[in-house]
Amino acid sequence: MNKVVVISGATSGLGLALKKIFLDNGDYVYGLSRSVNDDKDIPCDVTSKEDIDLAVSRIAEKHSKIDILINNAGIGISGATEYIPMENIRKAFDISYFGSLELTRACLPFMDKGSRIIFMSSISGLTAIPFRSVYCSVKSAQLMLGESLRMELSQTGIDVVTLCPGEIKTNFSANKLADTKTSERYGQRVEKALDYVAKREEKRMKIEKVINKIYKICVKGKRAMYIIGGKYKFLYFAKRVLPTTQYLKLTDNMLGGKK
C-alpha cells in the first residue's frame, strides 16, 4: 500500500535522496522546504508554526493520514562558543530542534498505529566536539526528543526512531554557519579545527553508499537509535568505555586544533 511520507529539508542532501527513493517506490511524498524543486514540494519554513500548520493541513485534506514523518531539516554551526552570535545559535535550534518539534506536533493528530516518526540527529548528538558545542547540543536535544517521544507513544503503535549519521558527503557542511572569530584565549585553534573538518571532505561517506540503509531504517527500523557508519559506532563505543575526562582529552587533541 502506498504510504504518505512527509520529509522536511527535502531539496538537497539526505532529504532529497530519501524523497527520490520513496517516489520510486510509488509513495506519496511531500517535501517541506523554504524553496521548492517540483510540485512534490510544499513551501514551508519549519521555523514558522503558521507555515507548518498550513502545509500539514494541505496534506491531511488530501490523504487524511500521515504514515511516515522524517524530520530532516537542519543547519550546521561551528565556532568558539564564546563568540558565536546568539542569533545564529537561536537559528540552529529553531531549525533543527524546534522545527522538528513543531512539525511532529502538527503531524501527530494524523498519525495512528503503524505510523513512524524519524528524527535525523547526528553522531554529534552522542559525543562532544570542540568548537561545535552548539551543533552537538542541538543534535543531542533532538535525540532526547526522539527517545522520550518513543516512550510516550509506546502504547499507540507509532514507532519513533532516531538516526545518528556520521559525516556524509553532501552540501550540508558548505551551508553551515561557521564563525572563525578568535582571541588570545584560543589563538588559531578555531580556524585550524574548522580546517581539519574541511580537509576531511573527501573522506566522508558517500551518500550513495548509505542512503539505502537509511531508507530501510526509516521504513522498518525497530531500534530506538541507529548510528550510520562503522567508524562512528567505534567512536561511540570508545566514549562509553573510556573515562569521560580521558575521552574528551583524546577528542580535543584530535579535533581541537593547536594554538
User: In one letter, which amino acid is 50?
Assistant: E
DSSP letter for each residue of 199-257 = HTGGGSEEHHHHHHHHHHHHHH--SSEEEESHHHHHHHHHHHHS-HHHHHHHHHHHHS-
Compute, in degrees rounded to 10, the torsion defined by CA atoms 169, 44, 217, 176.
30
| 191, burial (CB in 10 Å: exposed 0-12, middle 13-18, buried 19+) | middle
Give the CA distances from residue 8 to residues 74, 107, 154, 166, in Å, rounded to whole numbers and listed in that order.
9, 12, 24, 19
CB of 4 within 8 A of CB of 66? yes
Amino acid at residue number 192: K
Could you give the C-alpha distances from 82 to 85, 88, 98, 188, in angstroms and in order? 9, 13, 23, 15
From 97, 135, 186, 215, the catalytic residue? 135
* Residue whose entry in the numeric block shows the C-alpha cell 511524498: 29
Catalytic site includes residue 135: yes
Catalytic residues: 135
